[in-house]
Structures are given as structure tokens and as C-alpha cells.
A and B are shown apart, each in its own frame.
Chain A
Amino acid sequence: MEHIRMPKVENVRLLDRLSSRRAVVGTLYLTATHVIFVENGSETRKETWVLHSQISSIEKQATTATGCPLLIRCKNFQVIQLVIPQERDCHDVYISLIRLARPVKYEELYCFSFNPKLDKEEREQGWKLVDLNEEYNRMGVPNNYWQISDVNRDYGVCDSYPTEIYVPKSATAHIIVGSSKFRSRRRFPALSYYCKGNNASICRSSQPLSGFSARCLEDEQMLQAIRKANPGSDFLYVVDTRPKLNAMANRAAGKGYENEDNYSNIKFQFIGIENIHVMRNSLQKMLEVCELKSPSMSDFLWGLENSGWLKHIKAIMDAGIFIAKAVAEEGVSVLVHCSDGWDRTAQVCSVASLLLDPYYRTMKGFMVLIEKDWVSFGHKFNHRYGNLDGDPKEISPVIDQFIECVWQLMEQFPCAFEFNERFLIHIQHHIYSCQFGNFLCNSQKERRELKIKERTYSLWAHLWKNRADYLNPLYRSDHSQTQGTLHPQIAPCNFLYKFWSGMYNRFEKGLHPRQSVTDYLMAVKEETQQLEEELEVLQERLANLQKSQSGDNKVKSKQQDRSKQIGLYTSNNSLANTPQEYSNDLKSFPSRSPSQGDEEDSALILTQDNLKSSDPDLSANSDQESGVEDLSCRSPSGGGCLPSEDSGKDSDEAVFLAG
């Protein structure tokens, strides 16, 4: 609170990026956790909520006649343009936000004050939803070839690894420790995925400290042990996910890559995925393209190409495809590494797992996958996503890229995933929101020290509770696409990599399809379920009536009046269905009937603006009027009462009134 110089500013204008004509006036509040903009106007009082942890940059622009513009860019790709009447107020807001957006202690983060009003037991249950021990058992380990090793029980060998790690049975503690000394940050080869069907596995590590000629017997033994744990294959792929040039440059620093001559029976392969700095710049360039005001098609496509973003997505996907193919088709085990083995390695291992194992394409399995390949193996969430103030050069959209790979796969295999696009978007949102403890810190060790599980809540439990909102209506567990390995195409003309406007222009609803097929089908399925229930009741009644004409057993149907039809799911969303600025020529021409038409056109069914109730938008940027009321009838699981976010807002409200 001491950082808030200006808790409330009135007569602030919120600009619409797409249309300069649409601006709303309201009041801006700064609280300990959120920036809140409340529209003036007695009826709607639309609110926009932005978590401090979502703010990636704040830009104060030159003062104009109308006031001082403030541009807030968010990590969930929301861009907010405010105009504050007084320069001094603007400056105060700016200074306050700069500090608030860059907390220095974990304790300042939202998850430590966020209270979804669950009791202790519920919280603990929430953390137990994803259990990695269970997951390794599901994969089929321990078994004759793999065992759990306690060599890292006190994080003594590698502080960025978890305590429980699966290694080949023949790899003794001596070999593991020896190998760890020959690997960057001591991240020795460990099991990521085991393929029950053919014993092939995916292992992961960091780069070897081979320099120009160094060798390590234990490391060589370690790789041999991995190969032998797959008796059906006489060699092992070692995949270095870096461009060859980068890997070679590392040799000069005493690091590098495996020399095929020193390791018996390995096949070494480079897959050129660029480093975090290239990726950060690439995203930056792409976002600049997204921010262009009415770009031409060429501007857009050229900018997209120039950003290189889709090229990088493809590189990650190609690496995953290569590994999945090696494991599934050739039955060969693969060791994957990059430099430290916590960015590209995590991306590639998780893409490969997703392609190989249908379980990871279920909602629960996907949570497990992120927990396994990202959280437990020490992906540096805090550094990469800038949760605490730190080195800006450490920030990079590593998991964002993985999430996009999943979306690209969903576009190609529409029935293969149990979850929908919204699930991915919400996970991305919460990686940055710091509302839940899952992604705090840089390693399991740090999280244990902070007692995350005792002090914060788990995102997975929250998502699971609202799972009805995240279902893909086309998914069927018995469907052919659901079974076995996915085999995506490689060439861009066969596998169309698309720009993901649902993510990167997420808050510009006007750009998205105005009717959502997913929501529509989910509503139909929900109705179908109710019909099934009603059918059962009716059949029972019929049977009773037929059996005993005397027995007056009138079970009144719950839904005698089923007026609820899909077509009635309407929303008042005039924005979704008004013309854009198609021509500048019309501007100068006075609009004759500004009031006409809006209401009539607004009754569009199932627009995207009506995102389901557990949408983080509701806390971040909510159109609460339409959001909550409309949905209560559509989504029994989460509509009536907003779960955690709503209550989270209650606590905020207190702060915001106190402030």
C-alpha cells in the first residue's frame, strides 16, 4: 500500500484501440493487487480489472490537449490506453504502477493474499489433484529397467531438479553423481517419458561440459545405461535442440555437446531451436504487428513473417515430431538437451509426450504434463515470466510457445484433445497472474522453502472445478483421433501454422469469430444431457402409469416447460455486431441515424464475448453485466456462483474501498 501514491483518479478516459471514436470515461483505482477502471454511467458500470503481475510495461506518452496518455501493456496481451486529465496525476499513477508491477519479494505476489474461501482440507485436496508419483506409475515405472533414485533427496546433487527422479536401474549413485558433474548446472540425464509399449524412453538433461575434448566415464556409462534400458534398440538418439553454431560456441566455454566417438552407439542430432533472447525479440516483433492500427494485409503478413514467430513454433513442433517418431516408430530412446535443459528441452519433451500419449491430451493429463516437464524439472517460471523484478534478459515466452504448439495441433486434430482453446488461454493467463502458487519460483526446492502448498492455492484444482467450461465438445474418448500417436505433417502447406488471434489479440473481441462453435456445441450437449435425464423420468412415469392405473404416482418432470432452446441464448452485445470502420470516406459524412439499429443487431447468439464464467477476464477485464447474468443459465457448473475469482474480487473490493 505504501507504493500507491494515487489511489483514485477521476475522469479518466479508456480508449478503444480499434476505434478511436469509442472511448469511455470513468474512474481509475489503484489497489494493492489490481488496477481497476470503472466506467461512469449508472446502468452498466463496466469494470476493467488488471492484476499488477500482468503488467509488462507502462508507457507515459507526451501530454496532449485532452490529457496525459498512459499505455499499459500486459503479459496476457491486453493493451490498455488511458488518458488522465492531469499530468501530475498521471505521473503519480505511473510511478506507483512501475513499483507495483515489479514486486521484489514473493510475499508481495497476489497468491499470498488471494483467498478463494476454501478450507484447509479443500486446499490440500487441490494440491493433491496432480500427483507425479501416480503419473510415473501410469507410464509403467518403476519396472525391470527403471527405478526411482533418491540421490537428489536433499537437492544435494542438483538444486533445480526434483527430489524424486527416475533413472535406469543400472545407473548407480556413483554414475549419477559422476554424470551430474559433467553436465551444466549438474542436470544429469533423467527420465521424462517412458513408452510402455516398446520400452523406448525420452530422457532429458543439460549440455555436457565437453569443451573441445573433455570426457567423463560416468556420463558415458549413464547414456549407455539409458540405451540398455531399451533392450529392443541398439542405439540411442542424442538430440541437441540448439542450432549447431550455438552449441559449437559453447565448447569454447567448456560446455558443448556429445562427441559420437566417445559415446558408444549414439546417434547425435542437432535441431535448431533458437535461444530465449531470439524468442523474446520475436514475440516483441509479432506483438508490434498485432498492435498496428488498421494494418493492410501485406503489413500484417510481412510483419508476421519478419517476426519469425511461426518459424520458431514450427521448429519446436518439428523437434517434438522427430522425437515422437523415434520413440513410436523406430522404438529408439532419445536423450534431449539444450544448454541448461530447462527451456527448449522442456518444450520439446512435452510436445513429444503430447504426440505420443493420448493421456496428455486429456484435461487432467495436460496438467500432469506441465507439472512433470515444466514445474518439477525446474523451468525457471519466476525468471522467464518476470514474476519478481529481475533481469529483463531472463524473460522469454518459453511456455507460451509450448501452449501455442498445442493450439496448432488442436487446429489440425480437432477431436484429439479433451480440452478447448479457452483452457490453454486460461493457463497462459495464470502463469503470469501469480494468483495461484503453482508456477511460483524457479525450482521445486524454492517452492518447498516458501511453503507454497501451505500458503497458496493450486490452479489445477480451480480449473478442474470449472472443467465443464474447458471441454472440447468434439472429443470422444473412443474416437480414432484420441487413440495412439498423432502424426502431424511437416511442410507448412500441409500443416497450416496459423496466427493465433485468440491469444495474441485476445482482448480485441471484434477480431474474433462472432459465434463460437465450441460454445454452441457445448450448449447443445448440455441440453442433450438434460433431455436424457428427462427421458428417463418420463419413461419411468410411463411405466408406472401403464403398470398401475390406480397408483397415483405422478412424478412431475423437472422441466415441464422446456422453453430453454439453444436459440434463446442471446446476449446483449452490440460491439460484436456493429460495423467496423470500413471506410474513411464515411467519417466526414454525418451519420443520420446513430441510434438506429444497434439494439436490433445485438441479439447474436453465443458470441465469444460471453466467455464462460470462470474466465479470468471476469477478474481481469470483466463485462460483468453480460458475463455473469447470461451465463448462469448456460453453465450449471460455474455459472451460479463464480468460484475463486469472484471471491477474490470480494477481498479486493475491501482493499479498494479502504484505499
Chain B
Amino acid sequence: MEFAELIKTPRADNVVLHRPFHPAVEGTLCLTGHHLIVSSRRQDNAEELWLLHSNIDSIEKRFVGSLGTIVIKCKDLRIIQLDIPGMEECLNIASSIEALSTLDSVTLMYPFFYRPMFEVLEDGWSSFLLEQEFELLSSVTNEWRLSCVNKEFSVCPSYPPVVIVPKCIDDEALRKVALFRQGGRFPVLSYYHKKNGMAMMRSSQPLTGTNGRRCKEDEKLINATLRSGRRGFVIDTRPLNVAQQARAKGGGFEQEVHYPQWRRIHKYIERFNILQESFIKLVEACNDQSHNMDRWLSKLEASNWLTHIKELLTAACLAAQCIDREGASVLVHGSEGTDSTLQVTSLAQIILDPRCRTIRGFEALVVREWLQAGHPFQQRCAQSAYSNSKQKWEAPVFLLFLECVWQIHRQFPCSFEFNEQFLILLFEHAYASQFGTFLGNNENERAKLKLPQKTMSLWSWVNRPEELSRFQNPLYEANSLVIWPSVAPQSLQLWEGVFLRWNRPSRFLEEAEEERINIIKYNKELQAKVNALRRQLAEMETDEEVQEE
């Protein structure tokens, strides 16, 4: 398909661009296959806006006389307005944007056309291989093995080709267990707590059905993670009644009779459509320009967003507590094991594992616990908070995870190597990107699309030193401890950096961040100078002593 067919008016002059907290800009609008570009022609204040079509969530058009106005609402929650003279031009542009921002085929997306202008120092597609992860694990324990049972994606289509499982469980058993778990998602290792050797596993629900089907291999698999005489915890992210109802549809949960060493805890985490609604309501509240405080607070409350944050954080803390404080192994699952399960296992690692609080470690966590673990990014992030269409697969599952990380970051501002901007970056790229990283729903699809060969990885770009420096937290001091966040309502705040990002004047907060960076930078420079001088002096003094002798 040629994009040109979709672009009837590729260019319009005298277009006025309106953005909150920016003066209006007059310029030329250009449409390309993947971008909407507005460039002002004023010499003194040349400005360009480049917007990916895939970032556009919805557009509205209206007319006053022959002056058309297009309001564009983006997936990163920004809203811009374009005044376009000429009714026909405006209609053409609007319909082009509509068509270009809702392309069906993945292979037409920008990552397949993007040609990077930077030199690739390290190919991000191979930066985070499970094999490397396993090597690290092998240095502390030999209870686990790498299994290639899924190398053709035949055992579990949403799992990566290699997974880490207990050493004593062979591939044959894994195949049987896969048949006993929804979507073939048999229990695999998510995290190994070096401090006490406890493990966190994740899976999907067991297919016990109404007649209490059991699977000996499944029992053996998860029991393999237990120390003798010790119990483990199953954290089910559904309330008990939902888990019970699931049996009617062939699903279910681990029953005490068959899993006597396991204690089940139900921690309810909301599912996708509820989350999507909550997201939409919250963003609506954040765009309400009313001056009424009651209205703002009641809308914030009615969105339930912070309730979801609190529930999710609580569940993650509980999982971490079981592992670190109770010294027990944990299995986490909900139904499919691709959403709330991953939220819990990845957040628990942020709490437990200092490595996940470094930039590199956090990237590895996102790759391991989200991308390779088969979170369906393409489905979940197809639309954002402004979408009108009622498709049922969208949900801000990953955004909720990022916000929870932000909440913990806010409580431990010196314990993370990355800053808030890094989290925002991941949010943006999950929804619209020039990189192929978040395309597809699992490794299987990514392999079929040949993403590593045909697109650039986000990590290839972001891990270049010049980019990385923008995402470093100047306050970072490695903290090797477990960090327990407070989940009290008083301790949780709205994530302004995402939700009020386009609605607040950012200058003062940016200046504050700059100031923080400068304070630390100056300190480090002085430190270096003093050290150099000390060395120089020491040398001179010894020279002198030698001379004196």
C-alpha cells in the first residue's frame, strides 16, 4: 500500500498550532506516511513539531466559516489544536490523519521504515538474553536449568523459546504441566532471592475445572521450589469468588488437597476493561479546566485510579514480604498470567532486588517480565485514554506498573539510578515509537515479524551514553537493601509527570531538577579537583623528602 493514496493534501500553509502554555505558532503543516509536521517559518523563532501518526489517539474537527479546526488527542495524553484555513484542506487532512493513525498492519508501522541517524554501539535486541540471566543465576545456585522445550513456541505460544525451570523437572513433565495451565503458561522462574534462596514463580491459572482435575507434574514442579518442611504461598490476583467461578469455564486454582504445602492468598487486582475505564476517567478529570476543587477531587476519586495503584502496590509488597520476611517461595498467577501477574512479579522485584533499580537492571526487568513474558503490548496499548472505540483489549496495565515504580521512587528518591523521565519515556514508547521493541504481543509474533532484523531496538538508542545521561537520577546512591514502600493513601500521589504533564507549566519543576543536577555535579567536580591536588602534593612532598635525604 502506498501512503500517498491516503494523503490528499500533503501540505497546508498558514496553519496555527495551539498548545497549552505555549504561544500559538503559525506555520506550514506537512503530512508524511508516518508523521504530522508543523514548522513555523518565522526566522527568529523557528519551531517544529513532529508527531507520529501512531501517537494519535483520536481527532475531532469543527468549522467556523471556512476556518477548520482539528483537535488532536495523543496517546501520550497531549492535546493540540490546529487551525487550518480552507474547508477542503482541513477535511482532507483530518481524514488522512484518521486513516494513517489507525493502520491495521503492523508491518506498515514506522519502526519498519525508521532509519536511525545514530551509530549503534550495542544491538539492543541481544542486550538482554535469558541465557545471560541464567549464567548469573548459576553462579549462586544449581537448582535451576534452562529449558528449550518451547523453542518452536509449540508448548506455549506466549512464552519465549527458553525459560528457567527447576532442575529436577524434565521437558516431558513441562509439556504435561503446560496442558494443565491456561494458554500453556506453566510455572517458570521469575525471580530468585539470593539472600535466602527463595523463588518467585509465575504461571497462568491451573485448569482444574469443576471436577477438580489435578496434575502430578504441576504439583511436583512447584513443590520443587520449596525447602523441606517449609510452605509456600500462591498469590492469586483474583478474588476467591472469581477464582471459583473460573472453574466453570475450565479454569480454577490450586486446591489444598493437592497442594498441601501451599497457602493461597487472594489479592484482587482489577482487570483490563475496568482499568481502561479508570484511565479514561482520570484523564478526563485532569483535562477539566474548572476551578472547582470539589469537582476535581470527586472526579479524581471517582476515577478509582489511585485505588488500583494502592491495590497493586499492596499485592506486590505482599509477594515481596512472603519471600523476604516469611522466607517462603511464591507462585503468582491470575487467569491468563499476562497482566496482573506480571505487574506483581515485576514490582516485587523492584522492592527486593537492588539491581532492578539500576537503569540496565530495569531495562532487563522490562524485557524479562513484560516483553519475553508475553504481555500483549500491541493489544493493550493500541489505544490510550482518548479512544472512542470500544475495543476490549486495551488497558493501561504497563502504565500502572510504571506508575507504581514512580510511587516507590518518590518514597525512595535516592535508591533508583534512573529518573522519572525514564519511566515516562517507556510509557511513550509502549504506545507509539520509532523502535520495534514494543511491537507484537509476544516473542513468537516478534520472531515472525523479524523485528530484530527489520527494526531498531529502543535499547540500542537509549543505552548510548549521550541519551542515557538524560535519564540518570543525580541523587542515586546504590542501596543494597529491600525497600518497603508505604501503601497508605497519604503516601500515594497522582503522577503529575504523566497526567498533568501537558497541563502545567513545567518550567519551574525543570529548573528544580537542573539545580539538583548542578549541585551534585559541582560537588563531584570539586571532589575530583581536591583528589588530584592531594595526589600532586603528596608526590611533591615525597620528592622533597627524597631531596632532603
Contact = CB atoms under 8 A, between A and B. Distances in A.
B265 A297 contact: no
B479 A532 contact: no
B289, B290, B300, B515 interface centre (most CB from chain A within 10 Å): B515
A64 interface: no
Contacts of B296: 492-493
B314 A583 contact: yes
A551 to B, nearest CB: 11
Contacts of B294: 305, 308, 311
A479 interface: yes
Interface stretch (B250-258, B361-369, B485-493): B485-493
Contacts of B314: 582-583
A310 B297 contact: yes
Contacts of B42: none
B481 A311 contact: no
Contacts of B505: 489, 494
Interface stretch (A51-59, A80-88, A505-513, A623-631): A505-513
A186 interface: no
A528 B526 CA distance: 7
A477 B522 CA distance: 18
Contacts of A524: 519-520, 523
A592 B326 contact: yes
A545 B481 contact: no
B529 interface: yes
A557 B297 CA distance: 58
A278 B481 CA distance: 47
A473 interface: yes
B537 A578 contact: no
A483 interface: no
B508 A415 contact: yes
Contacts of A413: 508
Interface string B313-332: 01001101110111110000
Interface string B268-298: 0000000000000000011111111110111
A604 B515 CA distance: 24
B296, B298, B307, B324 interface centre (most CB from chain A within 10 Å): B296
A495 B289 CA distance: 11
Contacts of B263: 589
B353 to A, nearest CB: 14
Interface stretch (A37-45, A337-345, A595-603, A640-648): A595-603
Contacts of B214: none
Nearest to B317: A582
A579 B321 contact: yes
Contact of A498 (B493, B509, B515): B493
Contact of B289 (A493, A517, A567, A604): A493
A514 interface: yes
A295 B487 CA distance: 10
B291, B488, B494 interface centre (most CB from chain A within 10 Å): B488
A612 B493 CA distance: 26
Contact of B515 (A474, A490, A505, A514): A474
B325 A541 contact: no
Contacts of B529: 535
A541 B494 CA distance: 54
Contacts of A605: 414, 477, 479
B483 interface: yes
B410 interface: yes
A586 B318 contact: yes
A577 interface: yes
B265 A585 contact: yes
Contact of A492 (B267, B291, B324, B410): B291
A340 B309 CA distance: 46
Given A539-B533, A606-B414, A474 B327 contact: no
Interface string A6-20: 000000000000100
Interface residues of A, number: 92
A89 interface: no
Contact of A314 (B293, B301, B491): B293
A143 interface: no
Contacts of A532: 526
Given A511-B491, A545-B537, A481 B291 contact: no
Given A298-B301, A494-B503, A517 B526 contact: no
A541 B220 CA distance: 72
B171 interface: no
B285, B291, B292 interface centre (most CB from chain A within 10 Å): B291
Interface in A490-533: 490-499, 501, 505, 508, 510-515, 517, 520-521, 524-525, 527-528, 531-532
A415 B520 contact: no
A559 to B, nearest CB: 9
B412 A513 contact: yes
A474 B512 contact: yes
A318 B263 CA distance: 55
B504 interface: yes
B414 A515 contact: yes
Contacts of A473: 519
A496 B486 contact: no
Interface residues of B, number: 83
A549 interface: yes
A173 interface: no
Contacts of B547: 549
Nearest to A598: B325
A404 to B, nearest CB: 14
Contacts of A412: 508
Contacts of A604: 479, 481
B48 interface: no
Contacts of A489: 504-505
A577 B483 contact: yes
Interface string A83-97: 000000000000000
B496 interface: yes
A513 B310 CA distance: 16
A444 to B, nearest CB: 36
Nearest to A300: B489
B490 A583 contact: no
A406 to B, nearest CB: 15
Interface in B395-426: 410-415
B472 to A, nearest CB: 15
Given A494-B500, A545-B544, A578-B484, A514 B411 contact: yes
Interface string A283-313: 0000000100011111111101100101100
B167 interface: no
A597 B530 contact: no
Given A415-B508, A493-B288, A538-B534, A305 B298 contact: yes
A593 to B, nearest CB: 6
A476, A524, A527, A542 interface centre (most CB from chain B within 10 Å): A524
A539 B526 CA distance: 13
Nearest to A603: B481
B537 A538 contact: yes
B482 interface: yes
A513 B493 CA distance: 12
A510 B537 contact: no
A142 interface: no
Given A528-B526, A535-B529, A601 B306 contact: no
A580 B484 contact: yes
24 contacts: A295-B488, A295-B489, A296-B310, A301-B297, A301-B300, A492-B297, A494-B504, A496-B496, A496-B500, A501-B491, A511-B490, A514-B411, A514-B412, A517-B414, A520-B414, A528-B526, A531-B526, A532-B526, A580-B484, A580-B486, A582-B317, A582-B318, A582-B321, A591-B326
Given A577-B482, A593-B326, A604-B481, 5 more contacts: A290-B490, A301-B300, A491-B288, A583-B314, A589-B326
Interface of B: 263, 265, 267, 285-294, 296-298, 300-301, 304, 306-307, 309-310, 314, 317-318, 320-322, 324-328, 410-415, 475, 477, 479, 481-484, 486-494, 496, 500, 503-505, 508-509, 511-512, 515-516, 519-520, 522-523, 526-527, 529-530, 533-534, 536-537, 540-541, 544, 547
